[in-house]
């Protein structure tokens, strides 16, 4: 079984980083995984997205037309990806940056004010982790312990001092109840 | 086994370091630059040579010099840079010194763009530089495969005293996947006997050159190169097969196009369509014998590429017209989705194979509509 | 409420005709935009727009033709002076300019710029020196200062290994074909005004057929220097000015008495 997650938002919202955390989690449980970024000039100020695919077998295409889940961090991303997610897939929406409800009824949608939650923790840059936690909670792809290890791995080295705040963000995302 | 997440460009750089790379020369160009940036700290830390050249012309000729001097040497670049390196590659081939080039192919021609593409196939596989020579060209499709291949390239290059090119595309350079790094090899301490490393008063002098004024001498060199190539054709064929045991027809695709095709083939299998995937890894030498042998078992070949059908010509040659061939490609940095390939597989399964006309013409006839509908 | 009487007002600022009214893709605070504006203003003032052909190079200014409103071609990396030569030889009565970054001009394109100057090719070169390769994400350029950290000189440019920066204007000014070669800077309004005068001189050189002309403009790259736009202008002033002195390195005698 293969799972494909698209993470999309503005450049600077930590789209690529949170994809990396998800990839680390998949690696943690011994799966195959591919992290595929949109790259190049469009990253300057524009939109950014990445696709994380994990599977028990060799992964084919690093990008898919219809992902099994999507984390959308802003309005343009919601508009673009809501229709793309497969039936019964997951759509995690940042209501702090979107201005409409999810229309589809045949997917699992989790809508949460992720930026506000992140700001309460003290740093709106944690929006991405709050949203990832919400996806993991809804989908049960991985356990919370695996996510914590993945988060630490992703922050290894230069970003070590950010671990504590990120852990809180993860916790808040898991705790969120609509 | 410790698998770690690696970005493609950095993974190939580290694999080369572990293979005993002694000297790297390069020039920034997207989507390859991370390899150069990685080398810029990694090699000096190990006391090995890193130098950013003033251009790709500079880089390839620095590599030429380092190769003649006997070092394990390489450069990495992307399509426009590869074009500039063609002169140097021809000289290196003519001088019969080993080197490794990694080309992270992007959309073209011209400045094009930085998106993943396979349009360098003809320039790399079928020459580009002048004269009679054949580089070995390997096209991995994943980061682990790229690591394993890069790790072996220096041994292969030295065995035949030839050029080995690893042809990737922007997606493999930029993506992250888990990979297990091979062990660190020690850097070689003795210079090869043929190298221009000074006689030290202990041997006859070595002269390394690609000029043979007398055509007869040049032809002898050509003959030697071709004989080496025959050996390479015998020993260095690599490919991977998926679902081929009971397949009635086969998709043929290399590198990223091969990966995308794998997704499509899996989906088709789930629908009960008896299709397999043949993924050449060595695109030069090309697995001609294997393709020819498959014509006995297959109803047809469906070639998928991220170019206008460059490997298609090799498949057509290898299959000798014995079975029909169909083609689907995307160009200019557009990467196909598995759905596009699946659609074609379903069509071939339902409608059967056409033989009239050229597969490229049949593809071109429908491409415009596909582009317009997206 | 008083109504404004536009009739008695004087236009003191307007969009240059040579520049399209568009937002650029340049990063906030990048001086590429300033340089574009100066070139456009000079071409307007000299009434040259209709006879100008631009040659864009490969660097952040690769899309300069999206902003300048006259004919343009786009050269391979480093080859703009050669392409400009081709254009100028076919259209000797037209104004031909190249717009090149430091990586483009004095790394991969050293041969082309040198020979264009040596031939006294009657073209004008706008040379943006921002001490790094902006477009590819901030690698070391030939102009990167000793000790300066870039993504391919992560411990700072080590001149023992990577060699010394090139003072391009000084070097090209040794060539007899050069008619006008000066260095200016874009870090504050006063220097920007001086830069504009120099650009005017460069085009006057071409109009008069006095040979190769080039204005080197010290520029900021806040993004890859990892500085705010204001900090970047200070960094330029403190670090680049001492290494790259602002001066006239070659001024054709026939230009000496011109004043604007
Ligand atoms: C043959 C070739 N090599 C490399 C590149 C990649 N490349 C694009 S822009 C650039 C450097 C640009 O730097 P500079 O000229 O200083 O301009 P800036 O972006 O700083 O304004 C490079 C190396 C290319 N396009 N073509
Ligand atoms: S990268 Fe640097 S040179 Fe390029 S637009 Fe941004 S600030 Fe300007
Ligand atoms: Mg520059």
Rounded to whole angstroms, the Cα distance separating A35 from B171 reads: 10
Inter-chain touch B259–A60, beta carbons under 8 Å: yes
Characterize the bridge pairing of strands B282-284 and B239-242: unpaired
- pLDDT for residue B355: 76
Rounded to whole angstroms, the Cα distance separating C243 from C148 reads: 12
Residue with structure tokens 């005709």?
C17
Name which of C25, C26, C30, C226 to mutate to probe chain A: the one with the most chain A Cβ atoms within 10 A of its Cβ. Answer: C25
Residue with structure tokens 């997207």?
B30
Residue with structure tokens 């070659």?
C250
Q: At what angle do helices A144-154 and A163-175 cross, to 10 degrees?
A: 150
- pLDDT for residue A40: 56
Q: Chain B: give the shortest CA distance to residue A2, in Å.
A: 10
Burial class (CB in 10 A: 0-12, 13-18, 19+), B152: middle
Rounded to whole angstroms, the Cα distance separating B363 from A111 reads: 44
Q: Is C223 on the interface with A (CB under 8 A)?
A: yes
Distance from first CA to last CA of chain B, Å, rounded?
A: 43
Chain-centre distance for alpha carbon C112: 16
Q: From 3.40.920.10, 3.40.50.10490, 3.30.470.20, 3.40.50.10380, which CATH number describes the A2-175 domain?
A: 3.40.920.10
Query: Are A18 and A7 contacting, i.e. CB atoms less than 8 angstroms apart?
Result: yes
Q: Enumerate the domain spans of chain A.
A: 2-175
Rounded to whole angstroms, the Cα distance separating B257 from B172 reads: 11
Domain of B61: which CATH number? Answer: 3.40.50.970
Q: pTM above the 0.90 mark?
A: yes
Domain of B284: which CATH number? Answer: 3.40.50.920
Domain end residue (candidates: B206, B235, B264):
B235
Domain end residue (candidates: B235, B267, B300):
B235
Q: Which residue of C has its CA nearest to B47?
A: C161
- pLDDT for residue A45: 53
Report the residue among C56, C67, C74, C101 best suited for mutation to probe ligand 1: largest number of ligand atoms under 8 A from its CB: C101
Count of CB atoms situated within 10 Å of the CB of B224:
12
Helix, strand, or coil here: A125?
A: helix
Statement to judge: residues B142 and B266 lie in one domain: no
CB pairs under 8 A between A and B: 71
Characterize the bridge pairing of strands C178-185 and B136-138: unpaired
Token pair for B283:
């695109």
Statement to judge: residues B150 and B271 lie in one domain: no
Rounded to whole angstroms, the Cα distance separating A94 from C213 reads: 55
Q: Chain B: give the shortest CA distance to residue C209, in Å.
A: 32
The interface predicted TM-score of the complex, written ipTM, equals: 0.94
Q: Which residue of C has its CA nearest to B50?
A: C161
The pLDDT-based confidence of A157 (bands split at 50, 70, 90) is: confident
Mean of all residue pLDDT scores within chain A: 93
Query: Are B81 and B52 contacting, i.e. CB atoms less than 8 angstroms apart?
Result: no
Q: Which helix (H) or strand (E) holds C196?
A: helix C189-207
Report the residue among C56, C58, C141, C145 best suited for mutation to probe ligand 1: largest number of ligand atoms under 8 A from its CB: C58
Rounded to whole angstroms, the Cα distance separating B297 from B317 reads: 17
Question: Which residue's CA is minimally distant from atom 10 of ligand 1?
Answer: C59
| Residue span of the structural domain in which B344 resides | 239-373
Rounded to whole angstroms, the Cα distance separating C141 from C149 reads: 11
Q: Chain B: give the shortest CA distance to residue C154, in Å.
A: 7
As a whole number, mean pLDDT of residues A143-160 equals 90
Rounded to whole angstroms, the Cα distance separating B301 from B323 reads: 7
Instruction: Give C165 Cα–ligand 3 centroid separation in angstroms.
Output: 13
DSSP structural state of residue B300: -
Whole-number percent of chain C with pLDDT over 70: 98
Burial class (CB in 10 A: 0-12, 13-18, 19+), C93: exposed
**Chain segment A68-119, per-residue pLDDT in tens:** 999 999 999 999 999 999 999 999 999 999 999 999 999 999 999 999 999 9
**Chain B environment of C133 (Cβ under 8 Å):** 28
Q: Chain C: give the shortest CA distance to residue A45, in Å.
A: 9
Token pair for A125:
């840059």
Burial class (CB in 10 A: 0-12, 13-18, 19+), A114: buried
Residues with CB under 6 A from ligand 1: B 27-29, 56, 80-81, 84; C 58-61, 77, 101-104, 128, 130, 133-136, 141
Tell me which residues of chain B, numbers 65 to 124, contact chain C at a CB-CB cutoff of 8 Å.
80, 110-111
Q: Which helix (H) or strand (E) holds B373?
A: helix B359-373
Residue C7 has pLDDT above 90, yes or no: no
> What's domain C25-130+161-253's architecture?
3-Layer(aba) Sandwich (3.40)
Domain end residue (candidates: B235, B264, B287):
B235
Longest dimension (CA), chain B: 74
- pLDDT for residue C9: 84
Name which of C139, C156, C162, C165 to mutate to probe chain B: the one with the most chain B Cβ atoms within 10 A of its Cβ. Answer: C139
Residue C1 has pLDDT above 60, yes or no: no
Pick out chain B residues at pLDDT < 70.
Answer: 1
Q: Is the dihedral of CA B223, B225, B227, B229 positive or negative?
A: negative
Q: Which helix (H) or strand (E) holds A26?
A: helix A15-28
Q: Is C108 on the interface with B (CB under 8 A)?
A: yes
The pLDDT-based confidence of A42 (bands split at 50, 70, 90) is: very low
Statement to judge: residues B166 and B270 lie in one domain: no
How far, CA to CA in Å, does C230 sit from each of B63, C148, C149, C184, C233? 42, 19, 19, 18, 5
Residue A39 has pLDDT above 80, yes or no: no
As a whole number, mean pLDDT of residues A141-158 equals 92
């Amino acid at each position: 079984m293969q799972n494909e997650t698209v993470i999309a938002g503005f450049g600077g919202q930590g789209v690529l980083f949170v994809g990396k955390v998800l990839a680390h989690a998949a690696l943690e449980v011994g799966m195959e995984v591919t992290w595929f970024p949109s790259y190049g000039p469009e990253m300057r100020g524009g939109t950014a997205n990445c696709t994380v695919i994990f599977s028990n077998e060799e992964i084919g295409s690093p990008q898919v037309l219809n992902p099994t889940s999507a984390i959308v961090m802003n309005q343009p991303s919601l508009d673009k990806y809501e229709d793309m997610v497969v039936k019964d897939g997951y759509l995690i929406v940042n209501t702090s940056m979107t201005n409409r409800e999810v229309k589809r009824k045949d997917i699992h949608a989790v809508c949460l004010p992720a930026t506000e939650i992140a700001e309460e923790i003290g740093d709106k840059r944690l929006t991405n982790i709050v949203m990832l936690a919400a996806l993991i909670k809804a989908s049960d792809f991985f356990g919370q312990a695996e996510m914590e290890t993945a988060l630490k791995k992703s922050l290894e080295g230069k970003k070590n001092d950010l671990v504590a705040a990120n852990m809180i963000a993860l916790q808040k995302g898991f705790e969120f109840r609509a | 086994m410790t698998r770690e997440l690696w970005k493609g460009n950095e993974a190939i750089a580290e694999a080369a370091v572990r293979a005993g790379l002694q000297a790297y020369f390069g020039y920034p160009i997207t989507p390859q630059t991370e390899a150069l940036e990685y080398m810029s700290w990694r090699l000096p830390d190990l006391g090995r040579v890193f130098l950013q050249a003033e251009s790709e012309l500079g880089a390839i000729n620095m590599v030429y010099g380092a190769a003649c001097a006997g070092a394990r040497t390489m450069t990495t670049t992307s399509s426009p840079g590869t074009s500039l390196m063609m002169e140097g590659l021809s000289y290196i081939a003519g001088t019969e010194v080993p080197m490794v080039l990694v080309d992270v192919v992007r959309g073209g021609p011209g400045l094009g763009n930085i998106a993943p593409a396979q349009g360098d196939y003809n320039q790399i596989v079928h020459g580009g530089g002048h004269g009679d020579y054949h580089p070995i060209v390997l096209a991995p499709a994943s980061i682990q495969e790229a690591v394993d291949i890069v790790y072996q390239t220096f041994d292969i290059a030295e065995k035949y005293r030839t050029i080995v090119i690893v042809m990737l595309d922007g997606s493999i350079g930029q993506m992250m996947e888990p990979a297990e790094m091979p062990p660190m090899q020690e850097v070689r301490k003795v210079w090869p006997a043929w190298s221009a490393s000074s006689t030290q008063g202990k041997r006859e002098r070595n002269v390394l050159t690609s000029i043979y004024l007398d055509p007869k001498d040049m032809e002898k060199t050509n003959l030697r190169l071709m004989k080496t190539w025959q050996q390479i054709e015998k020993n260095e064929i690599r490919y991977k097969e998926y679902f081929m045991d009971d397949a009635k027809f086969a998709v043929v695709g290399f590198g990223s196009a091969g990966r995308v095709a794998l997704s499509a083939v899996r989906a088709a299998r789930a629908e009960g369509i008896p299709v397999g995937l043949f993924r050449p890894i060595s695109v030069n030498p090309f697995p001609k014998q294997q393709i020819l042998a498959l014509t006995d078992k297959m109803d047809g070949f469906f070639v998928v590429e991220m170019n206008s059908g460059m490997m298609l010509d090799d498949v057509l040659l290898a299959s000798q017209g014995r079975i029909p061939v169909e083609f689907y490609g995307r160009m200019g940095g557009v990467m196909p989705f598995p759905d596009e390939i699946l659609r074609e597989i379903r069509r071939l399964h339902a409608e059967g194979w056409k033989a009239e006309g050229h597969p490229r013409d049949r593809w071109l006839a429908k491409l415009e509509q596909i582009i317009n509908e997206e | 409420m008083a109504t404004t009487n536009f009739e008695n007002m004087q236009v003191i600022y307007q969009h240059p005709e040579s520049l399209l009214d568009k937002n650029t893709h340049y990063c906030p605070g990048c001086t590429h935009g300033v340089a574009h504006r100066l070139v456009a203003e000079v071409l307007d003032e000299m009434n040259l727009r209709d006879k100008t052909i631009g040659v864009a190079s490969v660097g952040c200014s690769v899309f300069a033709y999206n902003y300048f409103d006259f004919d343009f071609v786009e050269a391979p990396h480093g080859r703009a002076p050669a392409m400009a030569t081709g254009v100028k030889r076919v259209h000797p009565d037209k104004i031909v300019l190249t717009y090149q970054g430091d990586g483009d001009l004095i790394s991969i394109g050293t041969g082309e710029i040198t020979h264009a100057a040596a031939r006294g090719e009657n073209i004008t070169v706008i040379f943006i020196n921002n001490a790094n390769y902006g477009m590819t994400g901030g690698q070391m350029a030939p102009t990167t200062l000793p000790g300066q950290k870039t993504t391919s000189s992560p411990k700072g440019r080590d001149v023992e290994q990577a060699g010394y920066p090139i003072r391009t204007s000084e070097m090209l000014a040794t060539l007899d074909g050069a008619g006008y070669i000066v260095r200016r800077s874009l870090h504050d309004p006063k220097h920007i005004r001086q830069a504009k005068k120099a650009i005017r001189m460069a085009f006057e050189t071409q109009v008069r057929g006095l040979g190769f002309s080039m204005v080197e403009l010290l520029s900021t790259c806040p993004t890859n220097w990892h500085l705010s736009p204001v900090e970047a202008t200070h960094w330029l002033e403190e670090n680049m000015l001492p290494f790259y002195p602002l001066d006239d390195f070659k001024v054709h005698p026939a230009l000496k008495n011109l004043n604007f």
